[in-house]
């Protein structure tokens, strides 16, 4: 696992921007180019070491945030990339550019994964048709929205959150396990919200708890064919979900409640996903790796 920037250590509290942040409202799903500060995906820092040479990875929600950072890191580690995105073509094109600059092939798939098993199955089929293999599945795409009270949550948004955030993980995993060879892996993005839920994120937090649970049961089945399954539980990460779904006050002070006093940048998550996909994690399955800035997981 490596996050390579300067060779010397730096104070992690000040490595990236700290709140207060500008108020910057956006509509879902949001655009990274409109964020201040612009998220760091490791564009100028991540250096690969051929950990994933010749592999093929499918990353859901690879157009921005953690998904973009993982796509970049995997490409610099030698993997070809297939990624999905909902609607933000500008961000998707940027992911494509970064992967191609790393010398790897990339395919982007615009799709809605909510209540859409056929589209999830089709994304896996594209990997096989275009690259002849699938080695790594990263279930990452998610929906969140904040609400002042349970009374304010529309019924259809509860359903949409569960269909997007956990049901699609079942669909993708079921399809991928037909093709992932021994030594391959599935990595699910859960959240610290699974262990320390916020009342204003109740549907999102519940789905993230479900993902953590699903990861454990998936690991016990997938290992029967030599496939490892693990999860990553981020704390606050500076992605388009923040200005598009959170109140202005939350955006302004986002990440201030961590031990670092700031949110993570997507670049700080990618090395964990690289480790979990690599042979270095050959004895790691059924684990949930927290990257929370010191927030406690219960």
pLDDT tens-digit readout, 90-111: 999 999 999 999 999 999 999 9
CATH number at residue 210: 3.40.50.720
Residue 36 counted as domain residue: no
Residue 30 counted as domain residue: no
Residue 207 counted as domain residue: yes
Residue 221 counted as domain residue: yes
Confidence of residue 183 (pLDDT cuts 50, 70, 90): very high
Tens of pLDDT along 103-159?
Answer: 999 999 999 999 999 999 999 999 999 999 999 999 999 999 999 999 999 999 999
> Number of structural domains, the chain?
1
Confidence of residue 4 (pLDDT cuts 50, 70, 90): very low
Residue 37 counted as domain residue: no
In the prediction, which pLDDT does 3 show? 47
Residue 9 counted as domain residue: no
Q: What are the Cα distances from residue 46, in Å, to 141, 163, 295? A: 22, 33, 25
Domain of residue 64 covers: 49-291
Tens of pLDDT along 46-60?
Answer: 999 999 999 999 999
pLDDT score of 242 more than 70 = yes
Confidence of residue 6 (pLDDT cuts 50, 70, 90): very low
Residue 220 counted as domain residue: yes
The average confidence (pLDDT) of the chain is 94
Q: What is the DSSP string of the chain?
A: ----S-SS---GGGSS--S--------TT--GGG-SSPPP-STTT----STTTT-EEEETTTTSHHHHHHHHHHHHTT-EEEEEESS-HHHHHHHHHHHHHTT--EEEEE---TT-HHHHHHHHHHHHHHHS---EEEE--------SSGGG--HHHHHHHHIIIIIHHHHHHHHHTTTPPTT-EEEEE--GGGTS--GGGHHHHHHHHHHHHHHHHHHHHHGGGT-EEEEEEE-SB-STHHHHHS-HHHHHTTTTTSTTSSPBPGGGTHHHHHHHHSGGGTT--S-EEEESTTPPP-
Residue 12 counted as domain residue: no
Catalytically annotated residue among 74, 85, 204, 289: 204
Known catalytic residue at 147: no
């Amino acid at each position: 696992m490596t996050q390579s920037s300067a060779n010397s250590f730096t104070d992690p509290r000040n490595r990236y921007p700290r709140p207060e942040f500008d108020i910057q409202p956006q509509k879902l799903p949001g655009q990274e180019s409109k964020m201040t500060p612009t998220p760091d995906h490791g564009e100028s820092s991540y250096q690969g070491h051929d950990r994933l040479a010749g592999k093929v990875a499918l990353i859901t929600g690879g157009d921005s945030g953690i998904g973009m950072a993982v796509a970049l890191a995997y490409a610099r580690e030698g993997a070809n990339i297939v990624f999905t995105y909902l609607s933000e073509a500008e961000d998707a094109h940027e992911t494509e550019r970064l992967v191609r600059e790393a010398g790897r092939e990339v395919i982007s798939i615009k799709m809605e994964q909510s209540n859409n098993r056929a589209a999830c199955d089709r994304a896996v089929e594209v990997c096989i048709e275009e690259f002849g293999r699938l080695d790594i599945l990263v279930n990452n795409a998610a929906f969140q929205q904040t609400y002042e009270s349970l009374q304010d949550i529309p019924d259809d948004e509860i359903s949409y959150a569960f269909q997007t955030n956990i049901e699609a993980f079942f669909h993708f995993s079921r399809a991928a396990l037909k093709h992932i060879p021994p030594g391959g892996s599935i990595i699910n993005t859960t959240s610290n919200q699974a262990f320390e839920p916020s009342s204003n994120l109740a549907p999102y937090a519940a789905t993230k708890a479900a993902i953590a649970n699903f990861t454990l049961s998936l690991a016990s089945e997938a290992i029967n064919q030599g496939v490892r399954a693990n999860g990553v539980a981020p704390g606050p990460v500076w992605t388009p979900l923040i200005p598009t779904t959170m109140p202005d006050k939350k955006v302004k002070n986002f990440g201030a409640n961590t031990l670092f006093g700031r949110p993570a940048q997507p670049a700080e998550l990618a090395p964990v996903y690289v480790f979990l996909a690599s042979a270095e994690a050959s004895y790691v399955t059924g684990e949930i790796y927290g990257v929370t800035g010191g927030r406690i997981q219960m």
